[in-house]
Chain A
């Protein structure tokens, strides 16, 4: 009987109003929890994971090839044109830095390296050595062709990652730090690759003979290698 007087008090409020009031009285634990710890991020979708998987694998294979091309081009070029030694060393050092970066990323994100690793090893060494032996112009044309393809390739990756970022922002979330850093890294690396392209053109890449054939074949080879490395 003692409980009866309390009933009309509650009954005056509709169920929804009562709930709202109760929620305001109690400092809810949910708001506290969201204030202190970051919200769990949406898991990456299967296609997004696949994209990152492929992108990192291709990038590592590309940088492996680039370091090998420069290191096998350098001895003949340096011997014939000693004034190019600092430039070759500078480009090689940057490529080695990129290669190290992608090796770390692959190990960290548990991405499988390409199964064609030994094949690219041999192919890149052969390409670098043969263009180096052909002379300065051929070597620079090789650099120009490779860096053009790589620049476009990195650009398409940045575009895709920025599209994800926009999509997430549309839903009120944001990209995780690791992906933000990845975008920055890929942008920086792309800029450095395009810088190599400029150096190559400054050093008479266009005067290689036969220019069209050489760059055409190398660019087609690059595209094929990218296609294969994405898959195996």
Chain B
């Protein structure tokens, strides 16, 4: 078996009794160092040089098999172990997922986010009745929430929230939430690239997180209560956002008018 130099170095550095484990990982084609799948998708989005899939095939097989057990066993180590066994890997490979059950949560978040563009498709914007960006965002949020229901994790979502709110997992969870908000605005066709880029993403992330939490306790048919909850939040956002932007516009107009008035009086400004 030939090993790349970096792997060999890692093997030689580990204590003798642990070396077989590292060699096994290498043979199974698994990565020995945990990567952060969300950090690689953060910046420049290229169309000609597409980015690789967020998870390599081996991890995808394990995690998707494990996710199928979440409705029964929850976001736990048990689900992960069952998934490993089903995908045909020895249980010792659990060491590949140092964050344990949180890896499952993140896998769910990442796959749901990347599949969002296949779940919702909008007609081209030059069609007869263009859909407003707000309507698109609403249907994207609902589609993402339906993804939770389809995966059967709604009843277990509070466990996921508990895992995500652990101090060590908060940065990764927030990152994933911001990426989701970014994805939604992008798919909705929003092209604003000024300060509103930040406010839009922050407010959408807040609304989405609240609605998802509401969904986890929703007992109504077809999540009708969640939909109404979402509509109320979006309406609030529209009211507050309209007031703020109206005020800023008014102030800008008054300032410009004042300067022009002084100029017309001959002041050299």
Q: Chain B interface: which of A20-28, A175-183, A214-222? A: A175-183
Q: Chain A interface: which of B57-65, B83-91, B123-131, B193-201? A: B193-201
* A47 → chain B closest CB, angstroms: 11
**A109 pairs with B194, CB closer than 8 A:** no
**A44 pairs with B194, CB closer than 8 A:** no
Q: Chain A interface: which of B2-10, B39-47, B74-82? A: B39-47
**A118 pairs with B195, CB closer than 8 A:** yes
List the A side residues contacting B47 at CB < 8 Å.
176, 178
* B14 → chain A closest CB, angstroms: 27
**B48 pairs with A113, CB closer than 8 A:** no
A210 within 8 A of B: no
Q: What does the 1/0 interface line of B20-61 toward A look like (CB < 8 Å)? A: 000000000000000000001001111111111000000000
A50 within 8 A of B: yes
Contacts A106-B193, A129-B269 given; indicate if A176 touches B49 (C-beta within 8 A).
yes
* B85 → chain A closest CB, angstroms: 33
List the B side residues contacting A50 at CB < 8 Å.
43-44
Q: Which of B50, B182, B194 has the most CB of A within 10 A?
A: B194
**B50 pairs with A112, CB closer than 8 A:** no
List the A side residues contacting B195 at CB < 8 Å.
113, 117-118
What DSSP secondary structure best describes chain A's contact surface? Answer: helix
A83 within 8 A of B: no
Bound-state CA distance A117–B192 (Å) is 13
Partner of B186, one of A43, A79, A110: A110
Chain B interface residue count: which class?
A: 20 to 34
A133 within 8 A of B: yes
B191 within 8 A of A: yes
How many residue pairs between the two chains, A and B, have CB atoms under 8 Å in the bound complex?
Answer: 73
* A186 → chain B closest CB, angstroms: 15
**A115 pairs with B46, CB closer than 8 A:** no
B119 within 8 A of A: no
**B197 pairs with A46, CB closer than 8 A:** no
* B11 → chain A closest CB, angstroms: 25
**A60 pairs with B193, CB closer than 8 A:** yes
Contacts A42-B49, A43-B49 given; indicate if A109 touches B44 (C-beta within 8 A).
yes
A143 within 8 A of B: no
* A194 → chain B closest CB, angstroms: 26
Contacts A44-B49, A110-B186, A178-B48 given; indicate if A115 touches B198 (C-beta within 8 A).
yes
A172 within 8 A of B: no
* A57 → chain B closest CB, angstroms: 9
Partner of A176, one of B40, B48, B191: B48
**B46 pairs with A56, CB closer than 8 A:** no
212-269 of chain B: CB within 8 A of chain A = 263, 268-269
**B193 pairs with A103, CB closer than 8 A:** yes
Chain A's closest residue to B266 (CB) is A79
Bound-state CA distance A107–B269 (Å) is 36
Bound-state CA distance A76–B269 (Å) is 6
List the B side residues contacting A109 at CB < 8 Å.
44-46
Bound-state CA distance A43–B192 (Å) is 27
Bound-state CA distance A43–B40 (Å) is 11
A75 within 8 A of B: yes
Bound-state CA distance A106–B193 (Å) is 7
List the A side residues contacting B194 at CB < 8 Å.
113, 117
Q: Which of B43, B46, B263 has the most CB of A within 10 A?
A: B43
152-201 of chain B: CB within 8 A of chain A = 182, 186, 191-195, 197-198
**B268 pairs with A76, CB closer than 8 A:** yes
Please provide the 8 A-B residue pairs with the shortest distance between their CB atoms, ordered closest to farther: A176-B48, A53-B43, A107-B191, A110-B45, A52-B44, A106-B193, A113-B193, A53-B44
25 sampled A-B residue pairs with Cβ under 8 A: A41-B50, A44-B49, A44-B51, A46-B40, A49-B43, A49-B44, A52-B43, A52-B46, A53-B43, A79-B268, A103-B191, A110-B186, A111-B43, A111-B44, A111-B45, A113-B195, A113-B197, A115-B198, A118-B195, A129-B269, A176-B47, A176-B49, A178-B46, A178-B47, A178-B48
Having A44-B49, A103-B191, A107-B193, one finds 7 other A-B pairs with CB under 8 Å, namely A43-B51, A49-B46, A53-B43, A109-B44, A109-B46, A111-B45, A176-B47
